[in-house]
Structure 1
C-alpha cells in the first residue's frame, strides 16, 4: 500500500544556496509518516494516553540524489517494506514530477514509557497491510 503526501518548499526550508536544507527532508518524511498512520485510523495520542506507548524512529538510511528548491511542489511516497512483531520497515521517496530527489529506508519501533520496546499489536499490523475500508 502506497501513501502519498504533498509538500511545498517554503523559503524557510532553504539554506544559503537556495536549496532545501538537508535536515528538512527528514521533516518532510516524518510529516508523511504521521499522515499515513492517521489515514490508517491509528490515533497516536490515544495510544500514548491509553497504553503508554509511542512510535519512535530507530534507524534512517538516507540518500540525497537531487536538490529541491524554493516553491517546488514535492510528493513524499511511503511504502511498507516489512512488518515484524516489533518493527515496521518503510521506504520513503521524495519526488518532483518524475525525478526522485531523496530516498530513505526507515525503521520504526513501538516503545513504552522509559524506552522499553513494545510489540506492534496484531490489529495495527493488519491495518498496515490492509487498505482502509476493506
Structure 2
C-alpha cells in the first residue's frame, strides 16, 4: 500500500535562493505520514487518551538528491517497509513529476506516559500489514 500526499512549495519553504530549505523536507514527510495515519482511520488523539501511547520518530535516514524550488508541485509517497511489535519502518519519497528529489527511511515507535517505550497497539499493527 502506497499513500500519496500532494505538497506545494511556498515562499516560506525556501531559502534565499528559492530552493527548499533542507529541514522542510522533514515537515513535508511528517504531514504525509499524519495524513496516511488519518486515512487508515487511526485517531491519534484517541490512541493517546485510550491506549496511553503516541507515535514518535526514533530515526530518520535521509538522502537529498535534487532541489525542489519555489512553486513546485510535489508528491510525497509513503509506504510501510516493516512492522514489528515495537517498531514501524516506512519509506518516503518526495517527487516532482516522476523525479525523486528526496528519500528517507523513517523508524516510528510508540511511547507511553513519561516517555517509556511501548508496544504498538495490536489493532494498528494489523492495519499496517
* TM-score, normalisation: structure 2: 0.98
The 5 A counterparts of 1:44-123 are 44-123=44-123
Q: Which runs of 4+ in 1 moved over 3 A?
A: none
Tell me the residue number matched to 2:17: 17
Per the TM alignment, residue 51 of structure 1 is displaced from its structure 2 partner at its CA by 2.2
State the alpha-carbon separation in 1 of the partners of residues 54 and 70 from structure 2.
33
For residue 83 of structure 1, report the CA deviation from its aligned partner.
Answer: 0.3
Gapped regions of structure 1 (runs ≥ 5):
130-134
| RMSD between aligned residues | 0.7
Partner of 2:126: 126
